[in-house]
Amino acid sequence: MAVADRAQGFIIGSGSRCVTVENPLVLAPMAGVCDMPYRLICKEMGCGLVYTEMISAMGLKYGDRNTLKILEMSEDERPVAAQVFGSDPEVVAYGARIMETKGADLIDINMGCPVPKVVRSGEGCALMRRPDLAARIVERVKASVDVPVTVKIRKGWDDLTANAVEFARACVEAGADAVAVHGRTRSQGYSGKADWNVIAEVAAAVSVPVIGNGDVVEPEDAVRMLELTGCAGVMIGRGAMGNPWIFRRALHCLRTGETPAEPSPAERIGLALRHLDMAVAFKGEKVASKEMRKHLAWYIRGLRGAARMREVINSCPDSASLRRAMEGYLDAFGASC
């Protein structure tokens, strides 16, 4: 693949039901991480497509206020995919319709979440053990909305029953416009190494764009995944936590073949503080000051004194004290962090 070709985007869907993604970099739908402020930051950094956190179809059915808050979107983050999870085809389709009315550019169905409380309800990756039900869900959602419908899956439930290729084919036959594949099984969770071979196998087996996911933590990883798997897009999850610069750096690497320098401590802390302000404006003081502790700790990961600083962050009761702590940290360590 020529350097100039690596940064090309892709199209999800067809005709009037299509979404153009300007470059191959995608933000994964991480619960408790990908709220609107963070999606906006990743978009600024060059991310081609952002996903919401996964949203309960049942919560949408019953109009849960917290669920609807997760669904809030901004014009500045488009295109944005809203991810729904559930196991009842009618309920998931109902949730998808609400997502469309709220402005989602595409609907993604979560069929890969490994969290025990999700799979115990027959949702997330549990659907990979019931491909017929998964196909019915895709069919009902596809018939219910006028935007592209995609699915996010894993390699399989475990290594003995790994069925990503057959499962992806069934979802595409049911109407899925793209498939995101995490190269781990449900049994692995987030441990071990992601199998990029299965991403390549799915990409070769279906006629829709495939988005690869797993172990992309450096800009060069995005390049390698595109080259080795033939996928259309690269989804970045944990590699983007506290590190939205990975999109800017990966895009530069894709376009030029060169890897730019990492952000300075001052840039990292400066963006962390802007993220804090955006979160307070979006969620309010009480919720934001609590939720931003983990984000701020991620922003300073690897800097000198970060372990002690995490303790300070976790003891801060409000956003003002968080800001003072972060500003004091930068003043104390400066460019030597």
Checking if the pLDDT of 181 tops 70, the result is yes
Which string of b and e fits 232-252 if b means at least 16 CB within 10 Å? Answer: bbbbbbbbbbbbbbbbbbbbb
Q: What angle do CA 39, 43, 44 make, to 5 degrees?
A: 120
- 113 flagged as catalytic: yes
Checking if the pLDDT of 314 tops 70, the result is yes
Domains of the chain by start residue, with CATH: 3-256 (3.20.20.70), 265-336 (1.10.1200)
Share of the chain residues as helix, strand and coil, in percent rounded to the nearest 5: 50, 15, 30
Checking if the pLDDT of 6 tops 90, the result is no
- Which tokens sit at 197? 């071979």
Please give the pLDDT value at position 2.
Answer: 60
Please give the pLDDT value at position 293.
Answer: 97
Q: How many Å is the maximal CA-CA distance in the chain?
A: 59
Cα(20)–Cα(13) distance, rounded to whole angstroms? 9
pLDDT digits (tens, 9 = 90+) for 222-255: 999 999 999 999 999 999 999 999 999 999 999 9
Please give the pLDDT value at position 337.
Answer: 46
99-109 average pLDDT score: 97
Cα(99)–Cα(30) distance, rounded to whole angstroms? 17
Checking if the pLDDT of 308 tops 90, the result is yes
pTM tops 0.85: yes
**Catalytic, out of 47, 113, 125, 231:** 113
Checking if the pLDDT of 3 tops 80, the result is no
Average pLDDT, the chain: 95
296-305 average pLDDT score: 94
